[in-house]
Chains A and B, each alone.
Chain A
Amino acid sequence: MTSTQKRLEYRMMFKQNVEKRLLVDKIVRIIVFSCVIIAIIPLGSILAEIFKNGTAAISYEFLTATPGAIGTGEGGIGPAIQGTLIIIGMSSLIGIPIGVLSGVFLSEFGENRLAQIVRFFNDVFMEFPSIVLGIFAFLIIVLVLGHFSIWAGAFALSLIMFPIIARTTEESLKMVPMTYREAGLSLGLRRWVITMRIVLASAKSGLITGILLSVARIGGETAPLIMTILGSSQFFHSFDAPMDALPLRIWRLSLLPYDSAQLQGWGSAMVLIIIILAINIGVRYFFLRKRGSGMFSRLIRQKILGGKR
C-alpha cells in the first residue's frame, strides 16, 4: 500500500501542471479543427464549383432528351441517367448477394485456412485498379460475345463492388457481440438461422453503410465502362447492347472543345452527384428508420405521431 505521505505527494504532483495540460488541450483542439477544415475545403469547393457551373445546364430537355449534334448545345443526357441507374441496379443485384455472403463466410466461419486465403485475395481485389477489372470483363465477355453490352459493364462493376461489401460486412458482423450468437445457440437454433435472422439483423446499419459506399464508388467509375458498355446516344433497348452512363458522358463532354459541351458536362456531374446522394439518403431512410435512430424517424415519432409508434 502507498503510504499517506506518498499519496499526498502524488496528489500535489497531479495538481501542479494544470495550466500546462489545459494549454495542450487547447492546442490539440485547434489542430483537430484545422484538419477538419483542411479536409472540408477541397470537398466543399468541388461541390460548389460543380453546382455553380452545372445549374445553368439543367432543364427538362437536358434531363430527358437524347444527346444532340456535337457542339450545338442541344439535346440532353437522358440515356446516360437511365444507363447509370440500370448499371448500378444490375451490378448491385450481382455484387450485393455475393459480397454479403462472402462477408458472412469470413466473419462467421472464417477461422480456417480457406477463409484466410479468401480474405487475402479479397483485400488484393479491393486494391485493383478498376481499369484492370474493365479489361478483364472486356476479355471474357465483350470479346467472347463479340460486342459491348450492359452485361459486361455490370459484371465489371460488380467485381469492384463485392470486395468492398465483403470486407465491410465482415467487419460489421464481427462487431456483433458473441453473446447474441450464444443466446441463439442456447435456444436450439441452427447456425445459419442465427446468422441470417439475428446477427445480420443486428449488423444492419454497418452492412448498409458498406453497400452504399460501394454503390457510390461504382457510380463514378469510368474506366471499366469504356471497356464494357462503350457509350451510346440511344435509350435502353437491350441488355445485350452498348449503353450510356453518366461518368462516360461527363468524360466525353469534357473532352469536347465547345463551351456548350463543357456546360453539359458540368450539368451531368451535378446530376450524378445528386443521384448518388439520393440513393444514399433514400436507402438509409428506408432501411434504418425502424430502429428509430434516424433523424426523420425521430421527427416522425415525436411530432407527427405524438410519441406513439
Chain B
Amino acid sequence: MTALSIRPQEVEANRDSVFKPEVIDEKYKMIAENVTVTYGGIPAIKNVSMKFKERTVTALIGPSGCGKTTFLRCLNRMHDMIKSAKVVGKVTIDGIDLYSKDIDPIYHRRKVGMVFQKPNPFPTMSIYDNVTAGLRLNGVRDRKILDEIVEDSLKMAYLWDEVKNDLKKPALELSGGQQQRVCIARALAIQPEVLLMDEPASALDPIATQKIEETITELKKEFTIIIVTHNMQQAVRVSDYTGFMYLGDLIEFRETKKLFTDPKNELTAKYVQGQFG
C-alpha cells in the first residue's frame, strides 16, 4: 500500500492495531526520559528528561548551542535524516514509545506539527498548496475539506485576513513574517495534537512576533505546545512551564513564573538575570 492512498481514518485504525499503548498517563501528553543525543560520538544533550502536560505551553531557554533545538527535534524523530546523529532514551507520546523499533515514525509525525526557525514554505507551491501540502500529499483530495482547513488554519495563524484574496500566490512572494505564519498554518493543517516550535519568531519583526505570540496563546486551548526561544521575555509571556538548558543538560524545569522569580539553581538565576548567555 502506498502512502498516498492512506486516509486519516485508516491511519487512526492502523495506529490502534499496530501500536500497543502502555500505561497512559492522562496528565502528560509527551514524556521524554533520559534522552541523550550524540553527533558523531560527541554528546549534544545528556540525559534530558521532561514531561509535557496536555494543553500547556512549555518553553525551552538557554544560551546558543545548549541543545534546545536538538532536544526539540528528538520529539519528532527529526534526527533520522542525519546520519551522524544517534538518539538514546525514550520519548513517548500518549504512552507510545516513539523510538521503539516496530513503530513507523510517520504516524507520529502526523500527530506532531513542527515549525522551524527559518520560514521554509515549499518554494514551488502557492499559499493554498503549502497549507494543504500535508493533507494533499497524504491523499486527502476532497476540495471542500481542503478549503475549510485552509481557512481554519490560516485564521489560527492570524494570516487569513492578509492573504484570503490571493491564496494562489506563490508563498515565497510573501514577507518573512507572513511566510512563517504560512508554515505555522501548514503545521496546524495536519490537525496535530502537539506543536513543536523552534524559535518561530527569531526572524520576525516585533509586530509579527506579537501576532505569533497571540497565536500561541490561542492555540494553547487545543494543542500541547513546546517552544524553543532565545527571548526570555517571550518565554515569560507565552509559556506555562520553562526548561533551562545549559551545555546539553537540563538544569531546571519548573513553572515559568517560579523559574523566573525564584530560580533554584545558581546557573538559572544568573541566566535569567542576564549575567551570561
Contact = CB atoms under 8 A, between A and B. Distances in A.
B113 A179 contact: no
Contact of B120 (A180, A201, A204): A180
B120 A187 contact: no
Interface string B91-132: 000000000000000111110111010101011110000000
Contact of B78 (A111, A186, A189): A186
A182 B109 contact: no
Of the listed residues A177, A182, A291, the one surrounded by the most CB atoms of chain B closer than 10 A to its CB is A182
Given A111-B83, A179-B116, A187 B124 contact: no
Contact of B186 (A187, A201, A309): A187
A179 B82 CA distance: 12
A193 B122 contact: no
A43 interface: no
Contact of A187 (B123, B170, B190): B190
A159 to B, nearest CB: 31
A190 B78 contact: no
A188 B116 contact: no
B74 interface: no
- Dominant secondary structure of chain B at its interface with chain A: mixed
B124 A188 contact: no
B106 A180 contact: no
Interface string A234-262: 00000000000000000000000000000
A197 B136 CA distance: 11
B76 A186 contact: yes
A284 interface: no
A185 B78 contact: yes
A202 B123 contact: yes
A260 B122 CA distance: 58
B159 interface: no
Nearest to B173: A292
A: interface residue count bin:
20 to 34
A189 B168 contact: no
A204 B125 CA distance: 13
Contact of B123 (A180, A186, A292): A180
A294 to B, nearest CB: 15
A183 B109 contact: no
Contact of B187 (A177, A181, A186, A201): A186
A31 interface: no
B118 to A, nearest CB: 7
A178 B81 contact: yes
B203 interface: no
B31 interface: no
Contacts of A186: 76, 78, 109, 112-114, 116, 187, 196
Interface of A: 111, 177-190, 192-193, 197-198, 201-202, 204, 291-292, 309
Interface of B: 3-4, 76, 78, 80-81, 83, 106-110, 112-114, 116, 118, 120, 122-125, 133-134, 137-138, 168, 170, 183, 186-187, 190, 196
25 contacts: A177-B120, A180-B120, A182-B78, A182-B120, A183-B120, A184-B122, A185-B109, A186-B113, A186-B187, A187-B110, A187-B133, A187-B186, A188-B106, A188-B190, A189-B3, A189-B106, A190-B106, A192-B3, A193-B4, A193-B138, A198-B122, A201-B122, A201-B125, A202-B122, A202-B123
Given A183-B120, A184-B122, A187-B109, 4 more contacts: A179-B118, A180-B123, A182-B81, A186-B187
